[in-house]
Amino acid sequence: MKRRKFIKRTFWGTLGLGFATGIYTWQIEPFWLEFVKRKMPITNLPENLVGKTLMQISDIHIGNRFDYSYIIDSFKKAQKFDPDFVVYTGDYVSYESKEQFSQLAEVLKHTVKGKIGTIGILGNHDYGKNWAEQTVADRISEQLKSVGIDVLKNAQVEIEGLNIIGFDDYWGLNFAPEEVMKDYDRTKANILLCHNPDVCDLEVWNGYKGWILSGHTHGGQCKPPFLNAPMLPVKNKKYAQGEIDLKDGRTLYVNRAVGHLWQVRFNVRPEITIFELEKA
């Protein structure tokens, strides 16, 4: 009888724990935003930018796969930090149809902007179905520009002494980093935006030293404790999340994303990152 009672209690306990974990993974953690604060030492940083803040927002994925009013709420929270620079590192939509353009426009009414500058790059989902629709990328680019986000496509821009380099997406139609890296100037205070961190392993860098800000992985969205995330959309599985020293003068930061490809997260909270600039 004791054995039977033990088995019964174990069964119902396991069932209850599984149910609670499912609710947490579906309804709680996907909306439990974390603001991650980091130092960002930059070579050649001018004195006027020491102590300034740079906010990275990545992978908002506006569409029909989760309630994107959460993104609007997240933007409102982010605005309270009053960042000096804001960079968006791609995947503004989960594109299914033209409906995403009107959905994105609704969210962009609450765009987080930097006091000094606001820059963005495109991600693979911004190229529509199969990452192959140029008209979708063009429309999204126009929408971003209309709210004050300067979109870099294999280009760079210097803002008050900070030089920001932006690659177009690795899986998209216009990936051509050599167009901008041929003009790489190591004497400037550089940071680089690149949606997909796998680009770090390509021969396109022309001796670049400095920070690379990426997204794309969402940290895997679900990660068992003490184990690696089982599903990561990158070839190099080291590029999951957080700060990674590439051991050659480059430092990669992979943002865990504020949005979701699907509404499920476990042990990988959504993230907006706030960097404090300092001299290297």
The band of 26, judged by pLDDT with boundaries at 50, 70 and 90, is confident
Q: Which residue has the higher pLDDT, 13 or 94?
A: 94
CATH number of the 32-279 domain: 3.60.21
The band of 92, judged by pLDDT with boundaries at 50, 70 and 90, is very high
The torsion angles phi and psi of 197, rounded to 5 degrees, stand at -65, -15
Nearest 5°: CA angle at 69, between 131 and 59?
Answer: 30
Residue whose C-alpha is closest to residue 277's, from 15, 38, 11, 16: 38
* Residues β-bridged to residue 190: 163
* Both tokens assigned to 155: 């280009």
Task: Identify whether the C-beta of residue 134 lies closer than 8 Å to the C-beta of residue 101.
Answer: no
The pTM of the whole model exceeds 0.85 = yes
Residue whose C-alpha is closest to residue 79's, from 55, 50, 105, 103: 55
The torsion angles phi and psi of 99, rounded to 5 degrees, stand at -55, -30
Q: Residue with structure tokens 């796998």? A: 198
Using alpha carbons, list the distances in angstroms from residue 206 to 43, 111, 200, 214: 17, 34, 12, 19
pLDDT tens track for 169-193: 999 999 999 999 999 999 999 999 9
